[in-house]
Structure 1
Amino acid sequence: MQSSSDLFPVALMSAELRGDLTEDVYRLKPGNSPDASVELVLTRLGRFGQEDERGVPVILVHGSFSNRRFWYSPKGLGLGPYLTRAGFDVWIVEMRGHGLSPRNQHYRRNRVADYARYDLPAIAAFVREQCGQVPHWLGHSLGGTTLAAALGGHYLGNGDAASVALFGSQISRNYWPLKVPPVEWSGRLLLKRFEVLSGSWLKRGPEDEPIGLALESMRWHGLFGRFGDAERDWWAGLADVRVPVLAVAAAGDLQDPVWACRKLVEQVPEENRHFLRLARDAGFSDDFGHIEMLVSKVAEREVWPLVAHWLGHQSLPVAVQGAEVVTL
């Protein structure tokens, strides 16, 4: 692999023109985790003819069963292109085995702990090297949970993140059967028979997820579980976060309910946390769902401008189209 970085091997896989956008696709091989086969793909979007006028870097992290197309459609639509056209330097991550990122040798064992400890810091370092600036981060669902783990585990700090926005991300929703040890043990034995959870079979999305993620989640929600790994308590570590964190929850999100998203950001010190609820009674035109909060015509009109404002100011306006904004 030829390198376009002084940090670790990086290959420029393609450089294409997509309408008014430029698309550069990089493959990183950080070599910083126990599985040396891990390779991660980043897509960088730019404005054609303005490649030398890139703005503040923003890294977008997709959720489970997803890939870069959550942010960036083949037709050049989505939050990624919107932010690019607004002047931001947009980088889109595809996690291990998703989209253009190949499956690593020990793919079935992948966990949020690996993403947070090894992958996100390597991505942050590469983007800083290329841009000369500390990037902002935005994660949806599992992507946001991974960012919270990286913050709570102190794997990302002020030198790696200018701000972090979490959309539909939580770890507090209770699964009471997992509190019963025999049920948890039986569930683990059953899941260990599989390599992956199939997104298409479960009708959750285009990608599969490694079984290691499911086993890790079961441990978090078990009788004596915690949001962390064997070495660090990520939940407790969020109290040490010193970067601005925005949590956005949708009233119609049954998967990651408002109260649970709020509980996650409440772990961050008061001076650094912000919370936004997307709901009709908060002034929006819809009770957004888990996906629709970022991927819908209504989100394009009402949510995307708020994202751009947050990235530019690390705060949200008190009222934008009647939206309710809460600083906790």
Structure 2
Amino acid sequence: MQQSHYLPYRDGKLHLRHLKALPLSSSVNHNRAPILMLHGAMSNGRVFYSPSGKGLGCYLAEQGYDVYVLDTAGRGESEPRISPDYHMGQTEVILEQLPIAHDFVLKHATAEKVHWCAHSWGGVLMASSYIRLAYLRKQVASFVTFGSKRTIKVKSFRKTMMVDLFWNRLAPLMTKYQGYLAADKYRLGMDNESRLSLLQTIDWVRGDWIDADDQFNYTEAVQNIDWPQSWFIAGKKDFVLGNPSDVKDMMKECGLANADYTLLAKRKGFKRDYTHGGMLTDKLAVTDHFPLVSDWYNRF
């Protein structure tokens, strides 16, 4: 069963989709911490679920977990939608939107801790919020990411076309005239991207991990952080947006070099060499690695 919650935020509202836990049996641990999921750039929460019950979020709900999926401001069912008049970036997600959703989940689920789970750039935003907001750390049960990287150092023709030419050069020009990146209109992604958010991601991907608004240095701050149990998952055919080598670089940068790591590849025993989006949307995932994710959460 799914239910939408709309959380007041500035002049609009944030959409949080609750995928309710199914009681599997009397032996199910009803004290399980809920799971909060965050999408990446040019995306929204639907990467984790569908109304018909597909996706990782729905799968975990079927395994007895209460799952909450956030649409960041302007995306998905959050309002108002991103437009030329939209002026927020990723800093607002880190310092305001994610904490608002996290606090709601704690209260709504009557929980002491929340599992954090992210896809792609959502993992960078979650990590940034965890590093910066000390009060949240004791309330995070674990940290799981799919294809998350902070920098893109891999060199290839595909990376040159997708990142160096389109994301770093063409996309900013498009936003200069449109006011935002109409990714859904041009079939570049699931959802639109604000100009400020785009420019901030460009700075972080190719530069230092420093907040553009107040110069907070995440690279320095992370040196003193204790992380919860963490797991980084990468796809063998994720050539650019979450290349396995870049995922490992993020692990090292966060001081999580010894965290759990899984490469979704045939040579590792999986049914497919997974792509960036396919890790969550491929039809084989539900019987391939989704059960491993459930088993991992069951450790807690």
Q: TM-score range by the shorter chain?
A: 0.7 to 0.9
**Aligned 1:63-78 pairs, distance under 5 A:** 63-78=40-55
- 1:228 matched to 2:187: no
- 1:60 matched to 2:60: no
Q: Structure with the greater relative contact order (CA < 8 A, sep ≥ 6): 1 or 2?
A: 2
**CA distance, structure 2, for counterparts of residue 86 and residue 298 of structure 1:** 18
Check whether the contact 1:251–1:278 (CA below 8 A) recurs between aligned residues: yes
Check whether the contact 1:57–1:91 (CA below 8 A) recurs between aligned residues: yes
- 1:302 matched to 2:288: yes
- 1:9-57, Cα deviation, whole Å (9 max, x unpaired): xxxxxxxxxxxxx222111115xxxxx224211111225689xx57420
SS for the counterpart of 1:277 is strand
**CA distance, structure 2, for counterparts of residue 156 and residue 139 of structure 1:** 20
Out of 279, 291, 299, the position equivalent to 2:277 is 291
Against the structure 1 CA distance between its residues 199 and 259, is the aligned structure 2 distance closer, same or farther, given a 3 Å change threshold? same
Q: CA-atom RMSD, angstroms?
A: 3.0
- 1:85 matched to 2:62: yes
Out of 257, 260, 270, the position equivalent to 2:243 is 257
Task: Give the count of matched residue pairs.
Answer: 280
**CA distance, structure 1, for counterparts of residue 203 and residue 233 of structure 2:** 26
- 1:166 matched to 2:145: yes
**Aligned 1:124-203 pairs, distance under 5 A:** 124-133=102-111, 134-154=113-133, 157-174=136-153, 191-203=175-187
Query: Kindly, what percent of the aligned residue pairs are identical?
Result: 24
**CA distance, structure 2, for counterparts of residue 45 and residue 188 of structure 1:** 36
SS for the counterpart of 1:73 is coil
**CA distance, structure 1, for counterparts of residue 233 and residue 291 of structure 2:** 14
Out of 11, 14, 20, the position equivalent to 1:46 is 20
**CA distance, structure 1, for counterparts of residue 209 and residue 272 of structure 2:** 32
Out of 212, 234, 252, the position equivalent to 2:196 is 212
One-letter amino acid matched to 1:226: D
Alignment match, 1:243: 228
Against the structure 1 CA distance between its residues 156 and 168, is the aligned structure 2 distance closer, same or farther, given a 3 Å change threshold? farther
Cα distance, 1:94 vs structure 2: 0.9
Against the structure 1 CA distance between its residues 23 and 100, is the aligned structure 2 distance closer, same or farther, given a 3 Å change threshold? same
Cα distance, 1:157 vs structure 2: 3.4
One-letter amino acid matched to 1:117: L
- 1:266 matched to 2:244: no
Larger radius of gyration: 1
More helix by share: 2
Alignment match, 1:108: 86
Cα distance, 1:153 vs structure 2: 2.4
Instruction: Give unmatched runs, 5+ long, in structure 2.
Output: 25-29, 154-158
TM-score w.r.t. length of structure 2 = 0.82
Cα distance, 1:221 vs structure 2: 4.3
Cα distance, 1:67 vs structure 2: 2.4
SS for the counterpart of 1:200 is coil
SS for the counterpart of 2:284 is helix
Check whether the contact 1:38–1:105 (CA below 8 A) recurs between aligned residues: no
Cα distance, 1:164 vs structure 2: 0.9
Check whether the contact 2:234–2:264 (CA below 8 A) recurs between aligned residues: yes
Cα distance, 1:206 vs structure 2: 3.2
Instruction: Give unmatched runs, 5+ long, in structure 1.
Output: 1-21, 31-35, 315-328
**CA distance, structure 1, for counterparts of residue 56 and residue 97 of structure 2:** 23
SS for the counterpart of 1:117 is helix
Check whether the contact 2:174–2:180 (CA below 8 A) recurs between aligned residues: no
